[in-house]
Amino acid sequence: MEPAAARRVLLCSVCLALWCLRCAHGLRSSGNHEWEKLIMVQHWPATVCKEIENNCRNPPDYWTIHGLWADKAEKCNRSWHFNFNEIKDLVQDMKIYWPDVIHSEPVLSRFWKHEWEKHGTCAAQLDALNSQKKYFGKGLDLYKGLALNSMLEKFGIIPSGNYYQIADIKDALANVYGVIPKIQCLPPKQDEEVQTLGQIELCFTKDLQLRNCTEHGEPEARRRGAWPAGVATGLEVCKDGPAFYPPPQETKR
């Protein structure tokens, strides 16, 4: 090859490499993929069943994981598909603590697939969460460490026909965890008196340390994340005032 031709080939190769690097950087730094905090989202199964008007069969009588979400980012790597085999070792705990409340056993992994492909591929930017096994495993660890069910019971906040003040629930959680949570409710229907407690979010830094979900002066988003397409949702940030915390077998008043 002539020297001039060789130089042109080399120059083209370098330009191509630089272009690829720039594209890769652009994908990583895209506004859709930038995020600041992780959100451990737990929901109350009785309210989930009421929310979607689904007669769930034997919903759990304890708070379960809805997801581990990176804020401001969704579906960061559409080519990184869910692989059930990677989480086989976790399935026993997943069925207990991260169940698909609204679907039956044959499609259990549909919910986990949704959570991985929508949220896990974004959280995977962290080394601690950069595989499906790490993502779901760390989600289970955070859930167990927070022990939300027992913490609420400790303050006498238990499912019943009584109403609880949202401010009291926030204060109790802030007292335990040292950070401000986000609490979501199902608004009352026409024949109902009050909102229904449905979801509690606790937030983490990228170092997996607890932090406030909402900083001072920052508006609270109405809702983030949802069930797979086709399932209507209606939770919103709880209003100050009373809320109903429905017993597991009492999703209607």
Which residues have a catalytic role annotated?
66, 115, 119
Phi and psi at 43, nearest 5°, equal: -125, 160
Q: How far apart are CA 187 and CA 192, in angstroms?
A: 9
Triad 226, 230, 234: Cα angle to 5°: 45
Q: How far apart are CA 50 and CA 101, in angstroms?
A: 11
Q: How far apart are CA 119 and CA 113, in angstroms?
A: 10
Beta-carbon contacts of 168 under 8 Å, excluding residues fewer than 6 positions away, are 155, 157
Q: How far apart are CA 150 and CA 66, in angstroms?
A: 18
Distances (CA, A) of 70 to 49, 142, 172, 173: 25, 14, 25, 21
